[in-house]
Structure 1
Amino acid sequence: MSIVGLVTALLVGVAVGLLGRLVVPGRQEAPIWLTVSVGVVAALAGSIVARLAGVDTSTLNLLNLVVQAGLAGIGVVLVVATARPDPSDSP
C-alpha cells in the first residue's frame, strides 16, 4: 500500500468516524475516539479489500474511496448502535 492509500484511508476513516455519530439518532454511548478508531481501521480494511479486488490503490481512485467509506460507515454504525451504557454511570 502506498503513502497516498494510507493517507486517504486515514482521512476517510476520521471523516466517517466523526460523521457516523450523526447517523444514529439518540444519545450515543460510544465515545468519539472509538468511532474514529473504528472508522480508520475499517477504511484501511476497505483499502485492502479494494486492492484484493484489483483496484489500483496507489493513486486517488473513486472506487477505492467508495469501498473505504462503505466499510468505515458500516463499522461505525455497528459500533454506535451496539454500544452499551457504562454501568458505573448509573446513580
Structure 2
Amino acid sequence: MGLIILLIVGGVLGWLASIVMRTDAQQGIFLNVVVGIAGALLAGFLLTPLLGGAPITSGAFDVRSLLVSFLGAIVLLAIVNLFRRGTVR
C-alpha cells in the first residue's frame, strides 16, 4: 500500500513540478511520475535529514517532507531540461 501511495504522490509532485518549470506539454505522465519519484527520493535522502524531518519514502506525508520532495522534483527536472535542451527552462 505504501508503494502505491508513493507512486501517486510522486506523480502529483512531478506533474506540479513540470507545470512550474513549464514543461508539462513536452513530457508525458510517465516522465512526470519518474521525475516526481526520483526527486522525492533524492531530496528525501539528502535534504530532509538536514532539515530535521522524515523522508517521504518512510511514509511521512507532512508539509515539510512534501515541500522538500517537490523542490527535489523541480531541481531534477531542471537538470533533465539542461541536458535535453541546453537550458534550464
Which residue of 2 is the match for residue 40 of structure 1?
Answer: 37
> Aligned partner of 1:14: which letter?
G
Larger radius of gyration: 1
Q: TM-score, normalised by structure 1?
A: 0.57
Which residue of 1 is the match for residue 53 of structure 2?
Answer: 55
- RMSD over equivalenced CA pairs, Å: 3.1
CA distance in 2, matches of 1:9, 1:26: 21
Q: Is the 8 A contact 1:17 1:38 kept in 2?
A: yes
Mapped pair 1:14 → 2:11: yes
Q: Is the 8 A contact 2:14 2:70 kept in 1?
A: no
How many residues of Structure 1 are paired with residues of Structure 2 in the alignment? 78
Any gaps of 5 or more consecutive residues in structure 1? 85-91
Percent identity (aligned):
27
